[in-house]
Chains A and B, each alone.
Chain A
Amino acid sequence: GENVEQHPSTLSVQEGDSAVIKCTYSDSASNYFPWYKQELGKRPQLIIDIRSNVGEKKDQRIAVTLNKTAKHFSLHITETQPEDSAVYFCAASPSGYSTLTFGKGTMLLVSP
């Protein structure tokens, strides 16, 4: 089955800095890669996703890049703000299936 590795497990940045979280996946059949933000005790919220037919996608301060050959994808957050502090999860899903396999998460702390 699919295996998703996520790094780093914790990331501390100063407000205004950029943050990068990286994930690798094992199943070449995966074609959907969402990123979720989860605040303590709350549901995961989809912040951005990418499908395997594109290499990069941006939404304001958030961007995701995908390298299918290397089987890795990354989340980039620019101009970080304290409210960006949360746990971020990457996930991967194979073509034709709804099942998501999650990475272990990255706790992002943005200090004012």
Chain B
Amino acid sequence: GAVVSQHPSWVICKSGTSVKIECRSLDFQATTMFWYRQFPKQSLMLMATSNEGSKATYEQGVEKDKFLINHASLTLSTLTVTSAHPEDSSFYICSASQRAGYNEQFFGPGTRLTVL
């Protein structure tokens, strides 16, 4: 149980284009989903927290107009990187929590984004 999927697993795009990444909880309803970014040899950095049906809460320094997050249902959250640039190339990982205030998070397999 508690499986989270992510799609696509990798994507290569040209600078200036937008990329959408999907995160799905397959066998549970996720009240809260999280988006992380991980650069090579670094830790996971939380970008934003999203709750179903409400606006995402972004961490300091993360541009909300560049990283659009939509948590449309209890099983799906999407991250759209708008006008991507090479410095946005990174490993993006989502996670989901089964209920509000419940600490344990279940991680997706990640999406490798490369912007040329």
Contact = CB atoms under 8 A, between A and B. Distances in A.
Interface stretch (A14-22, A42-50, A66-74): A42-50
B103 A98 contact: yes
Contacts of A80: none
A99 B110 contact: no
Contacts of B49: 98-99
Given A34-B104, A98-B49, A104-B43, 5 more contacts: A32-B103, A34-B103, A98-B102, A103-B43, A104-B42
B66 to A, nearest CB: 21
Interface string B86-111: 00000101000100111111011110
Nearest to B6: A43
Contact of B44 (A42, A49, A98, A102): A102
Contacts of B46: 99-101
Interface residues of B, number: 22
Interface residues of A, number: 22
Given A98-B32, A99-B34, A99-B49, A93 B109 contact: no
Nearest to B99: A98
Interface of B: 32, 34, 42-46, 49, 91, 93, 97, 100-105, 107-110, 112
A100 B43 contact: no
B43 A102 contact: yes
Contacts of B104: 32, 34, 46, 49
A92 B42 CA distance: 17
B103 A100 contact: yes
Contact of A98 (B91, B100, B112): B100
